Amino acid sequence: MAELDNLLSQEELDALTAGLRDGSIEADTGLNSDVSVMRHDLTNEDSSLGVNVGAIDMINERFIRQFRLGLLEVLRTTPKVNMADVQIMKFSEYVKDLSAPLSVNTIRLNPLRGYSMAVIEPSIVFAALDNFFGGFGRGFDKLPPGRLFTPTESSIIKIMLDVLFGSLKEAWAPILAINCEHVSSEINPQFAQIADENDLVVVSRFVADLGRDVSGNIDLVYPYNSLKPIRDLLRSRVQTGDGDDISDKEWSAELKSAAVDAELEITVELAQIETTLKKFEALSEGDVIYFSKSEHARMYVNSIPVFDADVGANGSQTAARVVKPLAPNK
């Protein structure tokens, strides 16, 4: 009976409920209501708890500009480099789509935490090699899985890595001063363990074209955990746009400076003659070939028609005088 005496009556319960509703009675829930709460949207990749992909895109755009200039200086060709979308995935998912042999380079980007990775496909290596020795950037479709890079090919890879490191340093400069260090090289991506298989990595892929119908991928792979400590820095630089206008002006000036030293081949064509294989094989020294002379000769720059020209003599030298520029695609 004593326990029943301690129970509240219905009138007392109604009064208590009314007091809680109108605030006349204070209630202690046991929860700390003074703690500040930060809203986090799990669907937003740019949230304060994640890595800002927009900042990585800006870094990649600056990297492409510097990388093109660097390759132009060492390979004497104008490469095409395009950026694919930045992806965040498990390291195991990234590696499973790669096929050996590749130029897999483990690198350190001090002061970022841990190791990163630069992966270059063989087609890029061989196109760069051909360009370096005066060719037109011919690549190589496929190599046997266990095939190692020769010393000459490894030297080209080193040259490309030097350009890549310099470009990466310039690209990161408005956000963070980094120093690039080559740690090791492999041909099998399974041996380059920059992260555990379930760890997330940030993959920046660049599609490069260094020759005739030759293209391949260059990947920069950052461990997700290496970028998280600087997420606030990345986000603030994107919001303020630090360095973009200056970088664009510097890139334009450097491109112009590098381009003026590029070597060009100029040829002058007097006429084109159609003949048969039989007549061609019958040609011998002293034979005279007749053709109808056009009003002007055609001047080509790197096999591209650019000017109409008159051919004549200037002193003891045969010369061509530019008459007029040609319309594009003429």
**In 41-98, beta strands by DSSP E:** 80-83, 87-90
Q: Is the dihedral of CA 80, 84, 90, 96 positive or negative?
A: negative
Q: What is the band of 43 on the pLDDT scale with cuts at 50, 70, 90? A: very low
Q: Is the dihedral of CA 202, 116, 104, 66 positive or negative?
A: positive
> Strands of 266-269's sheet, edge to edge?
266-269, 297-301, 304-314, 317-325
- pLDDT of 312 higher than 60: yes
Query: Percentage of the chain surpassing pLDDT 70?
Result: 78
Domain ranges of the chain: 53-259, 266-325
Residue 246 is predicted with a pLDDT of: 55
Distances (CA, A) of 1 to 7, 9, 25, 59: 10, 15, 29, 78
CA 209 to chain centre: 12
Q: What is the band of 90 on the pLDDT scale with cuts at 50, 70, 90? A: very high
Helix (H, G, I), strand (E, B) or coil at 266: strand
Residue 253, both tokens: 């000036």
Measured CA to CA, the distance from residue 150 to residue 144 in angstroms comes to 14
CATH number at 266-325 = 2.30.330.10
What CATH class is the domain 53-259?
alpha beta
Residue 109 is predicted with a pLDDT of: 95
pTM across the whole model: 0.60
